[in-house]
Chain A
Amino acid sequence: MTQAPCRSIRFRGRSFEALALEPEAPLSAWIDRLDVYLANFPAFFSCKPIVIDVSNLELDRPGAAELVKNLTGRGIRIMGLAGADPAWSSEDFPPILPRGRATATANRTNVDSATDAGGAANGLNANEQAAFLEIAEALATEGRLTPVAASESPMRASLAAPLVVNAPVRSGQTIQYLEGDVTIVGSVASGADVIAGGSIHIYGALRGRAFAGAEGAAQARIFCRRLEAELLAVGGVYLTADEIGTSVRGQAVQAWLEQDSIRIARLD
């Protein structure tokens, strides 16, 4: 059972979903309202990954530190700060997250049902209401975060007009289309990136990097006539060239996500 001491550890870049809480000025009043809700729904924030979005607050570092202390004292475990000045980062501060994207329109489509689940959203402005509804929705599904987003966003993606590129994608070029599928009639060169919200279809060799389901759509797939990729990513799960098996290299394949790992199968 001994392992070689030199064996390396594995790192992978992954995207996860978290709840973003957006406090509003004046902070003291907002915290008072938060306390009211915590009294009604004490389990709202327990064991949930919470990101605090301070971009609307115009805080300085001491102000942000106080907010973090205040929220932590209320049992909210903060995994990161969004919209904060990167210069604030230090050991005693939550990690500062550089970019964030809303996961879905899907949350908004569920406002009605979530209102029922979440209960009285009285006395709150629209932003707070949305934040609490998000939490209520997450609570209602017992730990499985954004189940609706996962099943609905690919559907939405397929409704958007697909992007068709009728030329080879050259080294150094990036094709990014988060609204839906990308079809490339030609090859994708080494050093080129294709980033799609939906699936990626390449009628040529894939020698560069392909990111399907870039906003988390786990049903997205990558299809190519010849797999020579530097990197494949589906729904935020990555596979580097080294991890791609020799049996599928150089073949026409499809790649998809299955139980949090990328599967690749030959098409013919």
Chain B
Amino acid sequence: MSKIIVVTSGKGGVGKTTSTAALGAALALEGHKVAVVDFDVGLRNLDLIMGAERRVVFDLINVAQGDAKLNQALIRDKRLPNLSLLPASQTRDKDALTEEGVERVIDELRSRFDWVICDSPAGIERGATLAMRFADAAVVVANPEVSSVRDSDRIIGLLDAKTCHAEKGGRMEKHLLLTRYDPGRVARGEMLSVEDVLEILSIPLLGIVPDNEEVLRASNLGSPIVLHNAASAPARAYTEAAQRLCGANVPMSVPSDQRSLFRKLFGRRAA
């Protein structure tokens, strides 16, 4: 039984693309057949994070409009053979996507993969609503700060109103992924705590990804964080989140590593 997941947030820059790549790679490492789909038409990024930017020939728009076959557009990951990428077009805009076209692509992906993870563009316009339209479940990415949390709340409202699932009267499955979490800054009151965010959004927590410089390093190298440095704190957070997505009961924690703890102590003393 395959599952379509949309990774969405409302606000830009909170870590949707990073999370899509990491969750996709983590699920693939668990042995599932996974496709990650970039819906950010016109501003494609997922190909860069996945390190596949030199191999893009056809894209989502080509497949949705019937100009290319899904097979021609899918890019198989060089590190993980059961992980594929469907890139977005950089030259077109989001108006080139039609609901019928997207539905056809999603149906075909559903028949071929265990997990289809759709990377939504920021905002609440056409691109974002089409990315969530045919999803079975949503991963709502938020940073522990007020503007991100409010935008996520808005997106949760849309998930409950604008998706096929919701329109058929079903209840959309939603998970919160809290990224860029810094326990030190939370303790100093500079960031919202996990409890604050959960109280506002009232959806179940999928994972807490600590703020960590390894994430940027992995992005720059074009490697999902779980493949780049599996022992790093964010990689462990994403791996556990993927296991929870599969239904495993993994106790919730904020993974940390020795160095960031050391840096935190040092930083506190200097401040």
Q: Are B154 and A171 in contact (CB under 8 A)?
A: yes
Query: Which of B's residues lie within 8 Å of A, judged by CB?
Result: 124, 146, 150-151, 153-154, 156-158, 160, 199-200, 202
Report the stretch among A89-97, A186-194, A235-243 that lies at the interface: A186-194
**Most chain B CB within a 10 A radius of its CB, from A167, A168, A186, A205:** A168
B200 touches A170 (CB 8 A): no
Q: How far is the CB of B199 from chain A (nearest CB, A)?
A: 8
CA gap between A190 and B160 in the complex, in Å: 17
Q: Which of A168, A170, A186, A205 contacts B154 (CB 8 A)?
A: A170
Q: Which chain B positions have C-beta within 8 A of A170? A: 153-154, 156-157, 160
Question: Out of A168, A173, A186, A191, which one reaches B150, CB within 8 Å?
Answer: A191
Q: Are A186 and B151 within 8 A (Cβ)?
A: no
Instruction: Please state if B202 and A171 are interface contacts (CB–CB under 8 Å).
Output: no
* Chain A residues within an 8 Å CB radius of B202: 168, 186-187
- Closest CB of chain A to B157's CB: distance in Å? 3
Question: Which residues of A14-49 are within 8 A (CB) of B?
Answer: none
A interface residue count range (under 10 / 10 to 19 / 20 to 34 / 35 or more): 10 to 19
Closest to A189 in B: B153
Task: For residue A133, give the distance in angstroms from its CB to the closest CB of chain B.
Answer: 45
A171 and B151 contacting across the interface, CB-CB below 8 Å: yes
- A201 interface residue, CB < 8 Å from B? no
Closest chain A residue to B146, Cβ basis = A190
Interface of B is mostly: helix
> B200–A172 contact, CB under 8 A?
no
CA distance A31 to B156 in the complex (A): 57
| A interface residues, Cβ below 8 angstroms from B | 167-168, 170-173, 186-187, 189-191, 205, 207
Give min CB distance, A145 to chain B, whole Å. Answer: 39
Chain A residues within 8 Å of B150, by CB:
171, 189-191
- Distance in angstroms between the alpha carbons of A245 and B199 in the assembled complex: 23
Task: Please name all residues of chain A whose beta carbon is closer than 8 Å to the beta carbon of B124 when the two chains form the complex.
Answer: 172
Cα–Cα, bound, A189→B124 (Å): 17
Contacts of A186 in B (CB 8 A): 202
The residues of B that contact A171 with a CB separation of less than 8 Å are 150-151, 153-154, 157
List residues of chain A with CB within 8 A of the CB of B156. Answer: 170
Residues in A neighbouring B200, C-beta threshold 8 A: 187, 189, 205, 207
